[in-house]
């Protein structure tokens, strides 16, 4: 199928349908193609750090702040964490997006994805989020959320 040429070979088609990147019949619209291309580009930038974290700590932790609909988190999990290890914590302040993401993760058996309805600033106080993390992403962090995500990374980083 023409639309599948833009999709990585080991990418879950069911995930892309669940995220509404692909339609039920496997077609992709221009906006979704652009979004997928951006997320794949970010994946390529982040992958070496995932490899390094995995080599150092096989049970490494990644926190995705301002996760939105969790496109980045789901792609990172599907293409890397699912087979290699590590846990992903997605933090988003809109509870309805967290609930949708939880359902997708449950359906696809992405058991090491965890979702929290919180803002970045309050995530530092949340004891359900690991006290040490190895990688922090904040694709959708706006305004002071970027600063808050950086602060979170510094305060929760693993001491080597």
In the chain, the N- to C-terminal Cα span, in Å, equals 47
Q: What is the pTM of this model?
A: 0.90
Domains and CATH numbers, the chain: 48-156 (3.40.50.150)
Closest CA to 22 of 41, 47, 3: 3
| Predicted confidence (pLDDT) per residue in 61-116, tens digit | 999 998 999 999 999 999 999 999 999 999 999 999 999 999 999 999 999 999 99
């Amino acid at each position: 199928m023409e639309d599948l040429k833009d999709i990585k070979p080991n990418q879950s088609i069911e995930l892309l349908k669940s995220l509404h990147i692909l339609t039920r019949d496997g077609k992709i619209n221009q906006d979704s193609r652009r979004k997928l291309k951006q997320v794949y580009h970010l994946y390529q930038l982040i992958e070496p750090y995932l490899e390094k974290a995995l080599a150092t700590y096989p049970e490494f932790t990644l926190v995705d702040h301002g996760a939105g609909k969790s496109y980045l988190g789901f792609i990172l999990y599907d293409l890397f964490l699912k087979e290699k290890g590590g846990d992903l914590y997605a933090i988003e302040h809109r509870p309805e997006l967290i609930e949708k993401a939880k359902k997708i993760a449950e359906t696809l058996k992405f058991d090491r994805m965890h979702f929290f309805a919180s803002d970045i600033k309050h995530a530092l106080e949340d004891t359900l989020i690991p006290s040490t993390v190895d990688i922090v992403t904040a694709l959708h962090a706006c305004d002071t959320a970027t600063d808050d995500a950086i602060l979170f990374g510094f305060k929760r980083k693993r001491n080597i």
